[in-house]
Amino acid sequence: MEARFNAAREIARDAGRLALKHFLLRDTLKVETKGVHDLVSEADRDVEALISSQLMALFPDDGFIGEETGVKAGGMKAAGIWVVDPIDGTASFLDGIPAWCVSIAYVVGSEIEIGVIYDPNAEELFAARRGHGATLNDRPIRARRAGGFKDGRVGIGYSLRVDPRPTVTAIERLLTGGGMYVWNGSGALMLAYVAAGRLIGYYEAHINAWDCLAGIGLIREAGGWTNDFLADDGLIHGNVIAAGAPGLAEAMRHLAGLN
- CA–CA gap between residue 247 and residue 224 (Å, rounded): 8
Domain positions in the chain are 2-140, 149-255
For every residue of 2-31, DSSP letters joined together read HHHHHHHHHHHHHHHHHHHHHHHTGGG--E
- Tens digits of pLDDT across the chain (259 residues): 999 999 999 999 999 999 999 999 888 877 767 554 455 678 888 999 999 999 999 999 999 999 877 777 567 778 899 999 999 999 899 999 999 999 999 999 999 999 999 999 999 999 999 999 999 999 999 999 999 999 999 999 999 889 999 999 999 999 999 999 999 999 999 999 999 999 999 999 999 999 999 999 999 999 999 999 999 899 999 999 999 999 999 999 999 999 8
- Alpha-carbon Rg for the chain, nearest whole angstrom, is 17
Backbone torsions φ then ψ of 14, nearest 5 degrees: -60, -45
- Tell me the CATH number for domain 2-140: 3.30.540.10
- CA–CA gap between residue 109 and residue 95 (Å, rounded): 37
Closest CA to 141 of 91, 197, 191: 197
Asked if residues 83 and 100 have their Cβ atoms less than 8 Å apart, the reply is no
Q: Give me the helices (H) in 96-148, please.
A: none
Same fold, 2-140 and 149-255: no
By the 10 Å C-beta count (0-12 exposed, 13-18 middle, 19+ buried), 180 is classed as exposed
Indicate the helix (H) or strand (E) that contains 191.
Answer: helix 187-195
Q: Which amino acid is at 137?
A: N
pTM: 0.94
Asked if residues 178 and 150 have their Cβ atoms less than 8 Å apart, the reply is yes
As assigned by CATH, the class of the 149-255 domain is alpha beta
